[in-house]
Structure 1
Amino acid sequence: MTIRFAALELRRLYRNSGIELEVRRMEADDDDKHPGTIYLMLEEQYQASPFSQTPLSLKNDGFAVLDKGEEIWIIGKDERSVLYGVYHVCQKKLGYSWVHFDEKKENRKEKDVSCVQQPLFPRRGNIIETIDDPIYINQLIDWGAKNGLNEYFFTFFLWDKVKKHIEGELVKRSMNVTLGGHSLAFLLDENKNQATHFLKDPVSQETVMKRIYEICSESPIVTRVSLWPEDVGIHQDDYAAFMPGYITFTEKLKSALKDLDVEVEHIVYNAGLEWNMLERSEGTEVSQDVDVLYAYWGRDYSHSIHSGREEQSRATDSLLDWKAETAKRGRSFTVLEYYSDHFMLSELFPPLFNRIREDVEAYKKLGVDGLLNLIVPCHIKRYDSDITSGYPWKWIQQINNYMYAGLSWGKDYEDLVNSYVSTFGKEKDPYRSILIDLERILSAHTFWNVPLFPARVVDPEKVSGIEEREKVTPYLDEVLDFLEKRTPTVRKELLALQTKDNFASFTPEEMLQFYFHYVKEAVRKCKREWQEQGVDVHGL
Structure 2
Amino acid sequence: MNNVNLVSHSKDPVITFASQEWTALQERFGLIPGQHPETPIHIDIWDAITLQTDAPHMQEALSKPGLMQDSYYIEILPERIILSGASPRAVLYAVYETYRQALGIHWIYPGENPAVSAPEKAQVMESEPSASENESGNPTKSRSLVTPLFKRRGFVIENLYDPAYIVDMVDWMAKNRANEIFFTFTLWDKIKDVAGPEIVKRGLELTLGGHSMKFFLKPQEADTSLSADHPYTAKQQLDYADLSWQETVFDQIAAYCREVPGLTRVSLWPEDLPAKQDGAFLEQYLAFTDRLANHLRLALPQLEVEHIAYNAGLAWDMLERSHVSGAKQADTLLAYWGRDYRHPIDSAPAGDDQRAIGALQDWLQEVHRHERTLTVFEYYSDHFMFSPLFPSIPSTIAADITFYQSIGVDGMTNLIVPCPGYPDYPWKWATGMNSYVFSRAVWGDDLAHILDDYYLYYQEEDRDLAQTWMQAIERHVTSVTAWNIPLFPGRVVDTARISEQEERRPQVSALLQEMNEELRKAYGSPSEALANSQAGTYIRHLITLSEQLESAWRGDAAAE
TM-score by length of 1: 0.88
- Distance in 1 of aligned mates of 2:471 and 2:220: 47
Which of 44, 49, 60 aligns to 2:69? It is 60
Inter-CA distance 105–339: structure 2 relative to 1 (3 Å threshold): closer
3-state SS, counterpart of residue 84 of structure 2: strand
- Distance in 1 of aligned mates of 2:394 and 2:117: 27
Letter in 2 for 1:393: W
2:511 matched residue in structure 1: 475
CA contact (8 A) 1:231 1:271 kept: yes
2:549 matched residue in structure 1: 526
CA contact (8 A) 2:176 2:440 kept: yes
1:443 matched residue in structure 2: 478
Inter-CA distance 168–191: structure 2 relative to 1 (3 Å threshold): closer
Offset of 1:308 from its aligned partner? 3.8
Offset of 1:195 from its aligned partner? 6.8
Q: How does 1:6-405 map to 2 (within 5 A)?
A: 6-19=18-31, 35-54=38-57, 55=59, 56-57=62-63, 58-101=67-110, 102-104=112-114, 106=116, 108-109=118-119, 110=138, 111-190=140-219, 196-235=237-276, 238-258=277-297, 259-260=299-300, 261-282=302-323, 284-306=324-346, 307-380=348-421, 388-405=422-439
- Distance in 1 of aligned mates of 2:386 and 2:424: 17
Offset of 1:487 from its aligned partner? 1.2
Inter-CA distance 489–525: structure 2 relative to 1 (3 Å threshold): farther
1:486 matched residue in structure 2: 522
Letter in 2 for 1:267: I
Gaps in structure 1 of 5+ consecutive residues? 24-32, 381-387, 495-505
Q: How many aligned positions are there?
A: 504
Offset of 1:489 from its aligned partner? 6.4
Q: How does 1:500-519 map to 2 (within 5 A)?
A: 510-519=533-542
- Distance in 2 of aligned mates of 1:227 and 1:358: 29
3-state SS, counterpart of residue 555 of structure 2: helix
CA contact (8 A) 2:18 2:95 kept: yes
TM-score by length of 2: 0.85
1:497 matched residue in structure 2: none
Letter in 2 for 1:467: E
Offset of 1:201 from its aligned partner? 2.9
CA contact (8 A) 1:89 1:113 kept: no
3-state SS, counterpart of residue 389 of structure 1: coil
* TM-superposition CA deviations, 1:127-175 (whole Å, max 9, x none): 0001111110000000000001000000010011111111000000001
Q: Which moved more, 1:215-224 or 1:12-21?
A: 12-21
CA contact (8 A) 2:211 2:270 kept: yes
- Distance in 1 of aligned mates of 2:417 and 2:446: 27
Offset of 1:214 from its aligned partner? 1.3
Letter in 1 for 2:155: N
3-state SS, counterpart of residue 409 of structure 1: coil
- Distance in 1 of aligned mates of 2:206 and 2:79: 38
Offset of 1:329 from its aligned partner? 1.0
Inter-CA distance 474–508: structure 2 relative to 1 (3 Å threshold): closer
- Distance in 1 of aligned mates of 2:417 and 2:478: 17
Which of 494, 504, 514 aligns to 1:459? It is 494
- Distance in 2 of aligned mates of 1:322 and 1:107: 43
3-state SS, counterpart of residue 339 of structure 1: strand
3-state SS, counterpart of residue 196 of structure 1: coil
3-state SS, counterpart of residue 244 of structure 2: helix
- Distance in 2 of aligned mates of 1:243 and 1:474: 40
2:9 matched residue in structure 1: none
Letter in 1 for 2:509: T
1:418 matched residue in structure 2: 452
Offset of 1:488 from its aligned partner? 4.0
Inter-CA distance 317–533: structure 2 relative to 1 (3 Å threshold): farther
Structure 2 residue 444 is the aligned partner of structure 1 residue 432 = no
CA contact (8 A) 1:343 1:379 kept: no
- Distance in 2 of aligned mates of 1:352 and 1:289: 36
Letter in 2 for 1:178: T
Offset of 1:518 from its aligned partner? 0.7
CA contact (8 A) 2:116 2:456 kept: no
Inter-CA distance 129–398: structure 2 relative to 1 (3 Å threshold): same
Letter in 1 for 2:303: V
- Distance in 1 of aligned mates of 2:278 and 2:361: 21
3-state SS, counterpart of residue 203 of structure 1: coil
- Distance in 2 of aligned mates of 1:107 and 1:448: 40
CA contact (8 A) 2:73 2:143 kept: yes
Inter-CA distance 195–203: structure 2 relative to 1 (3 Å threshold): farther
Letter in 1 for 2:546: V
CA contact (8 A) 1:326 1:332 kept: yes
Letter in 2 for 1:156: F
- Distance in 2 of aligned mates of 1:20 and 1:421: 23
3-state SS, counterpart of residue 49 of structure 2: helix
Offset of 1:281 from its aligned partner? 2.2
Gaps in structure 2 of 5+ consecutive residues? 1-12, 120-137, 222-233
- Distance in 1 of aligned mates of 2:159 and 2:458: 31
Offset of 1:530 from its aligned partner? 1.7
- Distance in 2 of aligned mates of 1:165 and 1:361: 35
Inter-CA distance 194–398: structure 2 relative to 1 (3 Å threshold): closer
CA contact (8 A) 1:94 1:105 kept: no
- Distance in 1 of aligned mates of 2:70 and 2:428: 27
Letter in 1 for 2:470: L
Letter in 2 for 1:256: H
Letter in 1 for 2:454: Y
Q: Which moved more, 1:306-315 or 1:257-266?
A: 306-315
Offset of 1:49 from its aligned partner? 4.4
- Distance in 2 of aligned mates of 1:508 and 1:115: 41
* TM-superposition CA deviations, 1:11-42 (whole Å, max 9, x none): 01101124599x9xxxxxxxxx9941211021
Inter-CA distance 113–142: structure 2 relative to 1 (3 Å threshold): farther
Q: Which moved more, 1:527-536 or 1:417-426?
A: 527-536
Letter in 1 for 2:398: R
- Distance in 2 of aligned mates of 1:95 and 1:315: 40
3-state SS, counterpart of residue 280 of structure 2: helix
